Amino acid sequence: MAAMNMVQALNSAMDVMLGRDPDVLIFGEDVGYFGGVFRVTDGLQKKYGRERVFDTPITEGGIVALAVGMGAYGLRPIVEIQFADYIYPAMDQLISEAARLRYRSGAEWFAPMTVRAPCGGGIFGGQTHSQSPEALFTHVSGLKTVIPSNPYDAKGLLISAIEDDDPVVFLEPKRLYNGPFGGRPDQPAKSWAGHPDAEVPLEHYRVPLGKANIVRAGQAATVLAYGTMVHVALAAVAECGIDAEVIDLRTLSPVDVETIAASVDKTGRCVIVHEATRFSGYGGELCALVQEHCFYRLEAPIERVAGWDTPYPHAFEWQYFPGPDRVVQALRRVVEA
Amino acid sequence: MPEAALHRELLARMWLNRAFEEKVSELYASRVITGLLHLAIGQEAVAVGACSHLRTDDWVLGGHRSHGHAVAKGADVKRLMAEIAGRATGYCGGKGGSMHLVAMDAGFVTATGVVGGQIPLALGAAFAAKEGGRQQVAVVFFGDGAGQSGAFHESLNIASLWRLPLVFVCENNGYAEFTPLSAHTLVERLARHAETYGMPAHTLDGNDLLAVHDAMGKAVSQARAGKGPVFVECLTHRMRGHYEGDPAKYRELSQLAEWKEKDPIARFARMIETRSGLTAAEHGAIEADARARIEDAAQFAIASPWPDADEADTQVSAGHG
Ligand SMILES: Cc1ncc(C[n+]2csc(CCOP(=O)(O)OP(=O)(O)O)c2C)c(N)n1
Largest Cα span, chain A: 60
Other C-beta atoms lying within 10 Å of the C-beta of residue A37: 21
Give the tens place of pLDDT for each residue, B130-147: 999 999 999 999 999 999
Cβ–Cβ of B312/A308 closer than 8 Å?
Answer: yes
Quick one: CA torsion of B73, B92, B133, B6, rounded to 10 degrees? -10
Distance from CA of A137 to the nearest CA of B (A): 20
Cβ under 8 Å to B: A residues 30-59: 30, 33-34, 37, 55, 57-59
Say what the pLDDT of residue B114 is: 95
Is residue B147, in this structure, part of any structural domain at all?
A: yes
> Scanning every residue of chain A, which has its alpha carbon at the shortest distance from the alpha carbon of B64?
A128
Strands B166-172 and A114-119: unpaired
Would residue B116 be called left, alpha or beta, if left means φ above 0 and alpha means ψ between -120 and 50 degrees? left
Q: How many Cβ contacts (< 8 angstroms) between chains A and B?
A: 112
Whether ligand 1 lies within 6 angstroms of the CB of A85 is answered as no
Q: Which residues of B90-100 are buried (b: 16+ CB within 10 A; e: fewer)?
A: bbbbbbbbbbb
Q: A49 C-alpha to center of ligand 1: Å?
A: 25
pLDDT given for residue A79 in this prediction: 98
Helix axes A228-240, A324-336, angle to 10 degrees: 60
pLDDT > 80? residue B321: no
Taking only the tens place, the pLDDT of each residue in A12-56 is 999 999 999 999 999 999 999 999 999 999 999 999 999 999 999
Given CB atoms, is A285 within the 8 Å cutoff of chain B?
no
Q: How far is the CA of B16 from the centre of ligand 1 (A)?
A: 25
B43: burial class by Cβ within 10 Å (0-12, 13-18, 19+)?
buried
pLDDT for B309: 86
pTM: 0.96
- In this structure, is residue B114 part of a structural domain? yes
pLDDT value of residue A275? 98
- Through-space distance between the first and last CA atoms of chain B, rounded to whole angstroms: 44
Candidate from B115, B309, B316 with C-beta closest to A309: B316
In a domain, B228, yes or no: yes
User: What domain count does chain B have?
Assistant: 1
Whether ligand 1 lies within 6 angstroms of the CB of B173 is answered as yes
Cα Rg for chain A, rounded, in angstroms? 19
Contact A149 CB / ligand 1 (< 6 Å):
no
Which atom of ligand 1 has the smallest separation from the CA of B177?
11
Is pLDDT above 70 for A216? yes
Could you list the residue range(s) of the whole structural domain that residue B229 is in?
3-304
B319 part of a folded domain = no
pLDDT tops 90 at residue B41: yes
- Catalytic residue numbers of A read 129
* pLDDT of residue A217 exceeding 90: yes
pLDDT beyond 70 at B253: no
**Residue B37 is which amino acid?**
L
Residues B153-172 pLDDT 10s = 999 999 999 999 999 999 99
A315: chain B residues, CB-CB within 8 Å: 86-87, 90, 93-95, 97, 306-307, 312
Q: What average pLDDT does range A266-283 have in this prediction?
A: 98
User: Quick one: A1 exposed, middle or buried, by C-beta within 10 A (0-12, 13-18, 19+)?
Assistant: exposed
Contacts of B17 (CB under 8 A, 6+ apart): B40, B44, B47, B48, B67, B68, B71, B72
Ordered by where they begin, the domains of chain A are 2-200 (3.40.50.970), 213-336 (3.40.50.920)
Q: Could you tell me the sign of the dihedral formed by the alpha carbons of A65, A68, A74, A79, in that order?
A: positive
Whether B319 shows a pLDDT value over 80: the answer reads: no
**Identity of the amino acid at B272:** I
Q: How many whole angstroms separate alpha carbon A198 and alpha carbon A237?
A: 21
Centre of ligand 1 to C-alpha B231, Å, is 20
Whole-angstrom CA distances from A267 to A283, A303, B280 are 18, 14, 78
- The CATH number of the domain holding residue B292 is 3.40.50.970
Q: How many CB atoms lie within 10 A of CB A278?
A: 16
Query: What is the per-residue pLDDT across B222-234, written as a single tens digit (0 to 9) for each?
Result: 999 999 999 999 9
CB contact burial A202-227 (16+ within 10 A = b; e otherwise): eeeeebebbbbbebbebebbbbbbbb
Which uninterrupted H or E stretch holds B27?
helix B3-29
Q: Which residues contact A70 (CB under 8 A, 6 or more apart)?
A: A25, A77, A113
Angle at B37 between CA B35 and CA B41, to 5 degrees: 160
The residue nearest atom 22 of ligand 1, judged by CA position, is B177
Question: Which among B212, B248, B251, B249 has a CA at the least distance from the CA of B39?
Answer: B248
- Does a structural domain hold residue B318? no
Nearest CA of chain B to the CA of A243: how many Å?
32
Mean pLDDT of B167-193: 94
Tell me if B314 is assigned to some domain: no
Distance from CA of B140 to the nearest CA of A (A): 18
> What CA–CA distance (Å, rounded) separates A33 from A44?
9
B148 and A89 in contact by Cβ < 8 A?
Answer: no
DSSP state of B145: T
Q: How far apart are CA B141 and CA A229, in angstroms?
A: 38
Is A98:A143 a contact under the CB 8 Å cutoff? yes
pLDDT at A193 over 70: yes
pLDDT at B265 > cutoff 70: yes
- Asked if residue B60 is part of any domain, the answer here is yes
- pLDDT tens figures, A88-98: 999 999 999 99
The predicted structure's pLDDT at residue B261: 83
Q: How far is the CA of A58 from the centre of ligand 1 (A)?
A: 7
> Rounded distance, CA A77 to CA A111, Å?
9
Does any ligand 1 atom lie closer than 6 A to the CB of residue B37?
no
The reply to whether B193 falls in a domain is: yes
Instruction: Compute the nearest-CA separation of B252 from chain A (Å).
Output: 14
User: Is A314 an 8 Å CB contact of chain B?
Assistant: yes
